[in-house]
Amino acid sequence: MAGPNCQLGIVADRMGAAAGELLAEACAVAMYASVDVARAAGCAFVVHGDARGVEILGLGDLPGRGVRTDFTSLDIRTGAGNCSRRQPLGRAVGRESVRVVDATAGLAGDTVLLACMGYHVVAIERSPVLAAVIADGLARARDVAGFAEMVNRIELRVGDARELFSSISEIDAVYVDPMFPPKRRASALPPKSVQVIRAIVGDDIDSTELVAAAQRAARRVAVKRPKYASPLAGEPSHTIESKLVRYDVYIAPHPIRTEVSS
């Protein structure tokens, strides 16, 4: 991936050499001295870390204007608005659930909503770049009064969820939100964060296998889908509609025994 035509590079201005090197090692991506140097080397995206945190810059983004996570912008009042389990997302993973695995963390927008609703969330992301952005957002939120409790309900794991399910115990529900398939007819561009995620991780063409693995790991699986797309695992047990998307909920008739591998 690294090299003169790399798509992605890392610049760790004042992030601390150790953190920058860790990121480079985890991602197997080249490190550069500055954003300009990375762009001159052909990087379309730059993971930029400085005193403000970690962000992903696309072409033309000024440092400080990239995609990053700021979990502290959420209204975390108990039971209010987005943090209510009565919201479609809460109903999809089950209002009685305790431990939820978010198998497709992305930039952790849904992970944080679930934690805000009071669930204990194991968030799995297979892109080390996105995982680094999440880890940075969690670390910063931990230092902000009122957010530590919520953030401490989140456990981040880096890797392919299909391989990690067996190492997680007592899963009440798995939440799956793969990249949406493109619409047949072109429409307005999706938000910048979604464009960046898609450019870095691709199209999640293996999402059917992910849902199948989730169904082996937990009795309840909730899959977020755009309204125009068909379900990923056949007819769901039921569907929850929200304004923009729907959640296909699969509930197995029998409890699933989870055996945690050591």
Ligand X SMILES: C[S@@+](CC[C@H](N)C(=O)[O-])C[C@H]1O[C@@H](n2cnc3c(N)ncnc32)[C@H](O)[C@@H]1O
Query: Could you tell me the smallest distance in angstroms from the CB atom of residue 33 to ligand X?
Result: 28
- Would you count residue 160 as binding ligand X (CB under 6 A)? yes
Return the number of the residue (37 or 229) whose C-beta is nearest ligand X.
Answer: 229
CA-CA distance, 143 to 222, in Å (whole number)? 32
36 beta partners: none
Return the number of the residue (61 or 102) whose C-beta is nearest ligand X.
Answer: 102
- Would you count residue 61 as binding ligand X (CB under 6 A)? no
Q: Three-state SS for 130?
A: helix
- Would you count residue 109 as binding ligand X (CB under 6 A)? yes
According to CB under 6 A, which residues from 87 to 106 bind ligand X?
103-104, 106
- Would you count residue 47 as binding ligand X (CB under 6 A)? no
- Would you count residue 53 as binding ligand X (CB under 6 A)? no
Judged by CB under 6 A, which stretch of 4-12, 28-36, 52-60, 119-127 contacts ligand X?
119-127
Judged by CB under 6 A, which stretch of 8-16, 58-66, 174-182, 238-246 contacts ligand X?
174-182
- Would you count residue 182 as binding ligand X (CB under 6 A)? no
Return the number of the residue (55 or 177) whose C-beta is nearest ligand X.
Answer: 177
CA-CA distance, 175 to 210, in Å (whole number)? 11
Amino acid, single-letter form, for residue 33: A
Chain centre distance of CA 4: 29
* Residues counted in the chain: 262
For strand 238-241 and strand 245-251, is the pairing parallel, antiparallel, or unpaired? antiparallel
- The residue behind tokens 């699986």 is 221
Q: How many CB atoms lie within 10 A of CB 255?
A: 8
CA-CA distance, 24 to 33, in Å (whole number)? 13
Sheet strands side by side (includes 53-57): 31-32, 8-11, 45-50, 53-57
- Would you count residue 177 as binding ligand X (CB under 6 A)? yes
According to CB under 6 A, which residues from 196 to 235 bind ligand X?
197, 201, 204, 210
Return the number of the residue (179 or 229) whose C-beta is nearest ligand X.
Answer: 179
What residue ranges bind ligand X (CB under 6 A)? 103-104, 106-110, 124-127, 130, 160-162, 177-179, 197, 201, 204, 210
